[in-house]
Amino acid sequence: MTDHHPIEIAPPAIEPYRTGNTGVEYVHVLDSGKPGPNVMLQALTHGNEFCGALALVFLFEQRIQPINGKLTLAFANVAAFARFDFDDPDRSRYIDEDYNRVWADDALLGPRDSVELRRARALRPFVDQTDYLLDLHSMHEPCRPIMVCARSEKSVALARRIGVPADLLLDTGHPAGLRMMERGAFNDPASPRTAVLIECGQHWEKSSVQVAIDTALRFLRVTGAVEGAWTDARLKLAPPLVV
């Protein structure tokens, strides 16, 4: 048994979402049948960060349907999540390597193998077709929610349109490898394709779940995937004051 922060939320039951409509387990593409952007929400980039997965389950339970374009809902590192242990919750962050450090072509298209690389290779076609991506995360230590925009000013603009959380970080990448939000056109200033990453708070704080839900709803509204009235009726947190 290891020391860890209190676990205030239970990991969600995601088995009902194993079989989607894409041929890839735990990946669902909802098609409005109308022109519009491809929008993607990803949870469980790390298997012990499951507030985002609870947000996806909420959207499924609310019978989410896009009004324009396509909406992809993906549970990512499900193999790591499956071994979640209340006595050693950090063990389920990943199995072989960090799923969010393998998104450069030399890793994805190279000969190396791992559980995380196999999963990233399966999800790559969806990521590479996405116009707007929100990657739902949480932090090991207690913290205020923060939106991470990597090195992309267009990501900053999207984060400001989303309007939450109060804190925004424009960072310089990660030395251990390319993150999904930096892949390809997401990091190209000339491309409109844009990705952001939300850290919803500490991994297992109860408040992290509502942060994930509200941020996902606001993201879906500003990308035009769903109607504002639909999202507004489900928001619970007030946006930060603008000073």
| 158 vs 114: CA distance, rounded Å | 33
Is 214 a domain residue? yes
What is the reported pLDDT for 173? Answer: 72
| Counted domains in the chain | 1
Measured at the alpha carbon of residue 76, what is the angle toward residues 167 and 136, in degrees to the nearest 5? Answer: 15
Is 180 a domain residue? yes
What is the reported pLDDT for 152? Answer: 82
What is the reported pLDDT for 61? Answer: 98
CATH label of the domain that carries residue 221: 3.40.630.10
What is the reported pLDDT for 229? Answer: 97
What is the reported pLDDT for 243? Answer: 47
Measured at the alpha carbon of residue 154, what is the angle toward residues 151 and 155, in degrees to the nearest 5? Answer: 65
The 3-state DSSP class for residue 52 equals helix
Rg of the chain, C-alpha, whole Å:
17
- Which letter does DSSP use for residue 184 in this model? G
Is 11 a domain residue? no
Confirm if 155 and 181 have CB atoms less than 8 A apart: yes
Is 6 a domain residue? no
Is 239 a domain residue? no
Tens-level pLDDT at each residue, the chain (243 residues):
457 888 999 999 999 999 999 999 999 999 999 999 999 999 999 999 999 999 999 999 999 999 999 999 999 999 999 999 999 999 999 999 999 999 999 999 999 999 999 999 999 999 999 999 999 999 998 989 999 997 889 999 999 999 999 999 988 777 778 999 999 999 999 999 999 999 999 989 999 999 999 999 999 999 999 999 999 999 999 988 654
| 170 vs 240: CA distance, rounded Å | 18
Single-letter residue type at 233: A
Is 146 a domain residue? yes
What is the reported pLDDT for 171? Answer: 80
Is 4 a domain residue? no
| 81 vs 228: CA distance, rounded Å | 32
**Beta bridge mates, 136:** 198
Is 166 a domain residue? yes
What is the reported pLDDT for 1? Answer: 46
Say how many CA atoms lie within 13 Å of 186 toward its Cβ: 30
What is the reported pLDDT for 175? Answer: 74
The b/e string for 180-212 (b: 16+ C-beta within 10 A; e otherwise) is: bbbbbebbeeeeebbbbbbbbbbbbbeebbbbb
Residue length of the chain: 243
Where would I find the beta strands (DSSP E) of the chain? 27-31, 38-43, 70-75, 132-139, 146-148, 167-169, 194-202
Q: For tokens 């993906």, what's the residue?
A: 74
Which range of residues forms the domain containing residue 197? 19-232
| 129 vs 68: CA distance, rounded Å | 15
| 132 vs 196: CA distance, rounded Å | 8
